[in-house]
Amino acid sequence: MAGGISIHAVDVASGRPAQGLRVEIWRIGPDSSRIAEGRLGANGVLDHLIAQGVGVTAGEYEVLFHLGEFFGDGDGFLTVIPFRFRIKDVSEHFHLPLKFTRWGFSLFRGA
C-alpha cells in the first residue's frame, strides 16, 4: 500500500483487538490540526481515508491513543499514549501497530 497512515491495536493481556479504542491523528505545526479521529473496529484497525493517504502531507504528526477511555478506568495507570513522528516522503506508508496492557505498551513503525 502506498502512502497513508494506518493504525492497528491489540490488547495483549486479553489477546483481543482493541475494538472501540478512540484514536486521533494530528498534523503538528506550524498550525496544529486534527486530520483524523475514530474508533477502532472489531479487527483493531482504524477505518479512515487517511490509511489511503487522503490528507497526508510532509511534516510532523502525532497520534493519540485514548487508553484510559478504552479501559473505562478513571483511576487507571495509562491515560493517553502520544506518538510523534515525521513524514518526509508521502508515497511511503506508515503503519503504526500498538500492543498494550493496562500497564504498558509497545508502539513502532511496522511494515
pTM, rounded to two decimals = 0.93
From CA 53, how far away is CA 57, in angstroms rounded? Answer: 8
Q: Mean per-residue pLDDT for 8-23?
A: 97
pLDDT tens-digit readout, 44-76: 999 999 999 999 999 999 999 999 999 997 778
Tell whether the model's pLDDT for residue 5 goes beyond 60.
yes
Give the pLDDT of residue 29.
Answer: 74
Edge-to-edge strands, sheet with 5-11: 16-17, 5-11, 94-100, 105-107
From CA 106, how far away is CA 98, in angstroms rounded? Answer: 6
CB 93 within 8 A of CB 63: no
